[in-house]
Structure 1
């Protein structure tokens, strides 16, 4: 990170700026290929949907001390708020065609299937149901946490009624649409908490951490004033790509001025239209929630199943975490062009046979419903674009169609 800044903001909210480490633009033509994990069109959309978030709740300006972007980044990344409760509003406008949206449940289910020995069918189902439900529109969620072994995420919205309640070694997964509930028992310290993918999708704290830890030399960071979110004084942290090829124009993170916890995240498209993703607390308390908050009793008439989570004797080694997608290395059928905001995943035709009928069907849907362009068939959304060439090569990423078409034309 650069040690210089664009000035210190006033207490009234003047912007301050810092470029991230390296600062230089990548040289022209520096889109070098490397081997990476397999990424199929519907899974790209599912991963994008897991970054959900909502409408800002602004009020009068706050009067926090001035900070630089470097100081605010350090505050966020060192924040370890363990207890909170409140309501989160999420609004998602990915602009995903209906044909692709219909593929999200199977894509999420497939991704969840690889979460490792400590995961269960109930946990996978929880992620599938909750992420799919949150992938579009506006939803209001009740959230709570008391350390790593007690969490709650619930929604009573029409069309998205679910509850994920984790309390020590037990967790409940409830789906109001199907009237089913699964009790998971035997959760240990080394097990991922039930439904973590869904909770992270509605947790500004986790979303902001993912964004900030991925910062690199093609990113500019600045403090853009102060405001109020859910009754808390916050700094507005702006994270922007330096290049022009990404579909993302800016990520805005509202950071609690007292404890450094992100209270709201907005992902703004590069075309200046309405936010793609926007999640924010509408009310929040940092007091320890009552133990009863995490208790769950299935409603009368619910079909209940019980699952014991397999015992796992040790946590994965660093760098050996379970991934939904294959790891980078020899044998991968995917090449990554570029880096950072402008990464493009290239899925080679040979992987379609390995992927079986499911993958072939997804690619067929892109070809059938995609818009014909010079390079093939294009499915375009506000966040992720997917191009399938006539020979079956797939180019996908959070980049503009022009970037995909240029890469395809270059045969890279």
Structure 2
């Protein structure tokens, strides 16, 4: 259990190509300074190229902009997710929640699966997170606080998975999984961080999804994802626009991953932080929203209605939904800003909206959630009657 909490709290992505595909997976639509003239390539060949990529070393500057269509809530998440450790703490679980809103610039370095470094540059202050072997160090310059965790290599090790034997086999699996609900195409080329790249465009064929398209810029030489853009059908800024503005695939100097505790800094050990948080309530967003009826499936496990991009998860909490005024004070204003009252054959309830994921909570405690329009949720609730 402790290892799971450690992993969810901080783990620096195992290969920062993982940051480029996952953290990235969440930047402005692909910026082009003249689209490069590259050989034609099919979607399957491009997926094979990504699968064959073996990028282990890199360094660069990474920019991420997130617009979920939500009120500002980095303070809310920092306070809840970190058990009250938000501002003035080096705990990664509090600091990295800043990335879920606004625009941020990071410096990234990676040397294989055992050494990565991420530095968040916001204004004059910096927050650094370093994974070196079996240790993780984090430093918040604003508060002069240090976070330290031993055994990080073991805690952050992902379970082994059986993967297709070749890039072609993996590409075949991806295309097969996409099925009739997804369009995967090559949408031309782009120049990202001074490198020539192909644009892989993934889009739903179904009506009712809130996802317009996902666009991934793939380095033409290495197959490494360089940029990721997630657009919503509601238009406006991308929901997530994340990618490198500068990148170098040479191995960073070993000294890049050294860490020395700054003079006068207070050091908090990860194990001690675990103990300090035990028995306090509510100490994370899941717990806080769970108390409001948003955090779990109650006694009945979730069921899935529909398929592909318009799939909706539904479950019964087993009790009437509480009112917003009953929510923890940390979440009350946030929930008020999100909720719209709706009604139908199912009765009445509240739809909580973002640009991508929406959730309907009926007054009798049933929950419908998915990357679909509010009307699709109402339709699903009506059909269940």
Same topology, TM > 0.5: yes
- 8 Å CA contact retained: 2:350, 2:362: yes
Q: Which residue of 2 aligns with 1:319?
A: none
Residue from 305, 311, 315 that aligns with 1:337 = 305
Answer yes or no: is 1:158 the counterpart of 2:123.
yes
Q: Secondary structure at the match of 2:152?
A: coil
Q: Which residue of 1 aligns with 2:168?
A: none
Q: Which residue of 1 aligns with 2:263?
A: 300
**Residues 309-343 of structure 1 deviation map (CA, whole Å, 9 limit, x = unaligned):** 9xxxxxxxxxxxxxx99xx9996532222233222
Q: Secondary structure at the match of 1:184?
A: strand
Give the helix-richer structure, 1 or 2: 2
- 8 Å CA contact retained: 2:208, 2:372: yes
Residue from 89, 109, 122 that aligns with 2:63 = 89
- 8 Å CA contact retained: 1:88, 1:283: yes
* Higher RCO, Cα 8 Å, sep 6+: 1
Q: CA deviation at 1:128?
A: 3.8
Q: Which residue of 2 aligns with 1:257?
A: 220
- Residues 9-24 of structure 1 mapped to structure 2, 5 A cutoff: none
- 8 Å CA contact retained: 2:300, 2:315: no
- 8 Å CA contact retained: 1:180, 1:302: yes
**Residues 260-295 of structure 1 deviation map (CA, whole Å, 9 limit, x = unaligned):** 000000001113322110101000000000011112
Q: Secondary structure at the match of 1:268?
A: strand
- 8 Å CA contact retained: 2:126, 2:141: yes
Q: CA deviation at 1:161?
A: 3.8
- Residues 166-181 of structure 1 mapped to structure 2, 5 A cutoff: 166-181=131-146
TM-score by length of 1: 0.67
- Residues 199-238 of structure 1 mapped to structure 2, 5 A cutoff: 215-238=178-201
- Residues 235-250 of structure 1 mapped to structure 2, 5 A cutoff: 235-250=198-213
**Residues 192-234 of structure 1 deviation map (CA, whole Å, 9 limit, x = unaligned):** 169xxxxxxxxxxxxxxxx999744411100011111001100
Answer yes or no: is 1:392 the counterpart of 2:355.
no
Q: Which residue of 2 aligns with 1:289?
A: 252
Residue from 37, 53, 69 that aligns with 1:79 = 53
For the residues of structure 2 that align with 1:77 and 1:67, how far apart are their CA atoms? 15
For the residues of structure 2 that align with 1:233 and 1:192, how far apart are their CA atoms? 33
Q: CA deviation at 1:182?
A: 1.4
- 8 Å CA contact retained: 1:149, 1:167: yes
- Residues 107-186 of structure 1 mapped to structure 2, 5 A cutoff: 108=81, 125-130=91-96, 132-158=97-123, 161-186=126-151
**Residues 21-53 of structure 1 deviation map (CA, whole Å, 9 limit, x = unaligned):** xxxxxxxxxxxxxxxxxxxxxxxxxxxx97765
- 8 Å CA contact retained: 1:396, 1:404: yes
- Residues 14-53 of structure 1 mapped to structure 2, 5 A cutoff: 53=26
CA-based RMSD: 3.6
Q: Which residue of 2 aligns with 1:406?
A: 379
**Residues 166-211 of structure 1 deviation map (CA, whole Å, 9 limit, x = unaligned):** 11122102234443211222334x43169xxxxxxxxxxxxxxxx9
TM-score by length of 2: 0.71
Q: Identify if the C-alpha distance between structure 1 residues 105 and 337 changes in structure 2 by more than 3 Å, giving closer, same or farther.
A: farther
For the residues of structure 2 that align with 1:306 and 1:136, how far apart are their CA atoms? 28
For the residues of structure 2 that align with 1:183 and 1:71, how far apart are their CA atoms? 43
For the residues of structure 2 that align with 1:340 and 1:59, how far apart are their CA atoms? 35
Q: CA deviation at 1:159?
A: 9.3
